[in-house]
Amino acid sequence: MQWTLLVPLKPLAQAKSRLSDTADDRLRPGLALAFAQDTVAAALACAAVRDVVVVTDDALAARELAAQGAAVVPDAPRAGLNAALDHAAREVRARGAGALAALNADLPALRPRELARALECAAAFPRAFLADAAGTGTTLLSAAPDHALRPLFGPDSRTRHRASGAVELLPDPVDSVRQDVDTGADLRAALALGVGAHTAAAAARLLMAEQ
C-alpha cells in the first residue's frame, strides 16, 4: 500500500514554545523548520510513501519544504491542528489520494525503514495510530482508503485516538517514529538516536549560542 502523508506545521514563529527551556525566541523558529525538513526528507525517502503534503500557512516553511519535494496545502480553517488535518485530508482525497497518514513535523531522527515498518502495520486496519515516546501523545495516525482520518491530536491524544476506535500500533522497535521533540529533553533524546542534517546544523548553532 502506498501512502499520502499529511505533515502539519504551525507558523514557525509560534512553533515549539515548550523548547523555551533550551532555545530562545530567535532560535526556535529555525529549530522547528529544521525538524520539519528532516521529517519530510525521511518521509520522502520511505518506499511506502507516495507523496508528502505539508499543511501550513508559513511562507518560509512552505517554500523550503516544497523545494524538498513536498506538496503544500494551506491551513484554510485556521481553527487548530485537527481542523487543519481534516481540511487537508479532504483536499488530497479529492485529488485521488487513498491511504492517508498524519505524521508529526517534529521527528528529526525519523528513519525511512522504521516509518515503512509502522505504515506496513497500519495497513491492516481501517484506522490506526502510533503513540509517542512519552506514551501520552500520537506521532502517526492512519486511515485506509474509504475511511476518514478523524484526527484527535492534542493533550492525551493516545487515549482519545484509542477511544475513537483507532488501533494502537505495536510494531517492532520504531523509536525514530515515536521520538517527537517538544522539550529540551526530547531534543537530547532525538540527538542520541541520530538526527538529520538540518537538525544537526540547527543544534550546532544552538550550542554556539550557549557559549
> Per the annotation, where are the binding residues for phosphoenolpyruvate?
138, 154, 157
- Contact 61/12 with Cβ under 8 angstroms? yes
d(CA 27, CA 45): 27
Annotated binding residues, written as ranges, equal 138, 154, 157
d(CA 24, CA 209): 10
d(CA 185, CA 190): 9
Q: Which residues pair with 3 in a beta bridge?
A: 49, 99
